[in-house]
Amino acid sequence: MEHKIELPLVPTVIESLRIFDTVRLSGLMLVARDQAHKRLTRMILARETLPVDIAGQLIYYMGPASKPPEMIIGSCGPTTASRMDPYTPLLMKCGVAATMGKGPRSKEVTDAIREHKGLYLAAFGGCGALYASKVVSFETVAFHDLGPEALLLLKVEDFPAIVAIDSLGNTIFS
């Protein structure tokens, strides 16, 4: 079943989705990779104020590419989600509603998704140009010093993905 979803996600929408459902996302999503996750985690553990409110947010694990002059953003396909597994349970405990990347997640992440009634969405590898066409705008919102690993905010329209782990902990990877 396909769902058109406005971001940020709300609990009733999250709980209505099941594995293999397809979604088309519109609205704002955060982009964070390894180094941004590491820094956010360090800040949480040190009880520092985060540079953005992560509560209710979807974090996309995006592999950035150079931007052609005529495009808003370069190819922006998913990167391997399991690299963020050490950080995801804590971020979900602190309010992150969903994550999106490619590939399977650890048991600890699946357990955190179930416990916090979240989601993991799988984006399609090899579709970076398609995803770039769905980005309306973007800005760097924190960690500018990390360059391509900085924390970004994307505005997207009809960004396609599939529910890979639902709020009940069901997974397409078993």
pLDDT digits (tens, 9 = 90+) for 61-100: 998 777 778 888 888 999 999 999 999 999 999 999 999 9
Please give the class, per CATH, of domain 2-165.
Answer: alpha beta
Burial of 58 (C-beta count, 10 Å sphere; 0-12/13-18/19+): buried
Name the pairing type of β-strands 62-63 and 58-60.
unpaired
Q: Which residues partner with 81 through β-bridges? A: none
Q: Where are the domains of the chain?
A: 2-165
Is the pLDDT at 8 greater than 80? The verdict is yes
Could you tell me the pLDDT band of residue 5, with boundaries at 50, 70 and 90?
very high
Query: What are the pLDDT digits (tens) for 109-134?
Result: 999 999 999 999 999 988 888 999 99
Name the pLDDT band for 155 (thresholds 50, 70, 90).
Answer: very high
